[in-house]
Amino acid sequence: MAQHSVFSVAEEQGGLVYSGFRLQARSLVPVGRPTREQWSDCLDYLMHLEQHLHFWIGDLLAYGERRWGTTYADMVEETGYDPGTLRNLRWVATRVDVAQRRENLTFAHHQEVARLSPAQQEAVLALAAAQGWSRDGVRKEAYRVTESGRPPVSQAATPDPGLCHGDCRDVLAQLPDESIDLLLTDPPYGMNYVSPKRILPFPQMVNDDGDTAVAVLDGALALAAQKLKPDSHVYVFSSWKTYRQMAAIVRKHFELGNVLVWVKNNWGVGDLEGGYGEQQELILFAHKGRRPLNGDAESNVLPFNRVGTNQMQHPTQKPVALLEYLIGKSSGEGGLVVDPFMGSGSTCVAARNAQRRYIGIEIDRQWYEQALQRLADPTWED
């Protein structure tokens, strides 16, 4: 894509000239004999005109306001935009300095970072431009930066050999047989989970529709059965809503031993008017062969705090303390813990905290990069 600044537009008699073409009221005419490159450049410019227009109107409003007080009435009259839209255009234009604005991002991308500090804007926009993030991606990162106080995901997060980006079935197939000590995972439940956008603006989960989720879990557990050591444990998070389908798949490949109930400190906002608040989640506990639990026998009711909304990296993030507890009960130090559906890498953080080796696999690049960032920071323990 051409990288000419929108401000290179030169005013000439009878219209604006951009890249060898004069833009007039009802026509576009060549000035001289524009080259093919100028032609493409002009096309690119036209395709982004609406985006430029939003910044121009915002800048114009800001200027008018500085010079003559409010100019909204004139603007409403001229543009036909409602005052709310105009206020928004002016706000974004004043918050996002000209030097920060990226040619290959839309006005909407910039709007998502407008409330951040200039340094934060710069970091998030640079990543969004380099990695082709959608508006949703920018919104999520901006939310994460402001709410958690974490720095923006670094482009330079060192690749971690324990974290894999891809379909878990492809990655599991490459592991040596009987090499895994513990499988601990939280797969898509097949519920088309969507986080409440206004609270947690996360995108839709991959492979989370009913039949696909079942097929993916079935494929992953079939491979895991082959790759786990002879006497080992398997934990699969589940929900009462999909428990039957998920338990049937676990039973197909392992011996289902128990169902654990994770009891949270508080319950989520759901349909609280029509029913009871959800304060528990189910965890299927299964064996390959027979392995005793480490330490004392324990109750199958596990009280652990949920992850606070402000700390959430992933819409269905599980608490590291709970994962660390399960890892401690079912593996030894230095053992290999595998999570084929790692999301933001909580299982891997827990394994690292517990001095185990780990392999985490994630299909969605956004979460894979989030996990990279989390694991690259030795102070990130939860």
Ligand X SMILES: C[S@@+](CC[C@H](N)C(=O)[O-])C[C@H]1O[C@@H](n2cnc3c(N)ncnc32)[C@H](O)[C@@H]1O
Start-to-end Cα distance in the chain = 41
Point out which span in 195-203, 247-255, 298-306, 342-350 binds ligand X (CB under 6 A).
Answer: 342-350
152 binds ligand X (CB under 6 A): no
Give the β-pairing of 228-238 and 180-185: parallel
**Closer residue to ligand X in complex, CB, 58/188:** 188
- The footprint of ligand X on residues 168-207 (CB under 6 A) is 168, 186-188, 205-207
- 306 binding ligand X? (CB under 6 A): no
Question: CA of 147: how far to CAs of 113, 222, 375, in Å?
Answer: 13, 39, 20
> How many residues form the binding site for ligand X (CB under 6 A)?
23
Residue 154 CB, shortest distance to ligand X, in Å, is 19
CB 15 within 8 A of CB 22: yes
On whether the CB atoms of residues 233 and 284 are closer than 8 A, the answer is: no
Least CB distance to ligand X at residue 319 (A)? 8
Closer CB to ligand X, 207 or 232, in the complex: 207
| Residue 143, C-beta contacts closer than 8 angstroms, at least 6 positions apart | 200, 201
Q: Which stretch binds ligand X (CB under 6 A): 24-32, 50-58, 115-123, 311-319?
A: 311-319
Shortest Cβ 300–ligand X spacing (Å) = 20
Q: Which of residues 351-370 bind ligand X (CB under 6 A)?
A: 361-364, 367
> Rounded to the nearest 10 degrees, how much is the dihedral formed by the CA atoms of 41, 42, 46, 47?
-30
Site for ligand X contains 217 (CB under 6 A): no
238 binds ligand X (CB under 6 A): no
User: Among residues 237, 223, 216, which one has the least CA distance to residue 178?
Assistant: 223
**38, two tokens:** 């100028």
Asked if residues 287 and 330 have their Cβ atoms less than 8 Å apart, the reply is: no
The number of beta carbons lying within 10 Å of the beta carbon of residue 265 is 11
Task: State yes or no: residue 341 binds ligand X (CB under 6 A).
Answer: yes
Please list, in sequence order, all residues whose beta carbon lies within 8 angstroms of the beta carbon of residue 156, skipping any fewer than 6 positions away. none
**Minimal distance, residue 186 CB to ligand X, in Å:** 4
User: Which of 137, 346, 373, 374 is close enough to bind ligand X by CB under 6 A?
Assistant: 346
- Quote the least distance from Cβ 99 to ligand X, whole Å: 35
Binding interface with ligand X (CB under 6 A): 167-168, 186-188, 205-207, 216, 314, 316-318, 340-341, 343-344, 346, 361-364, 367
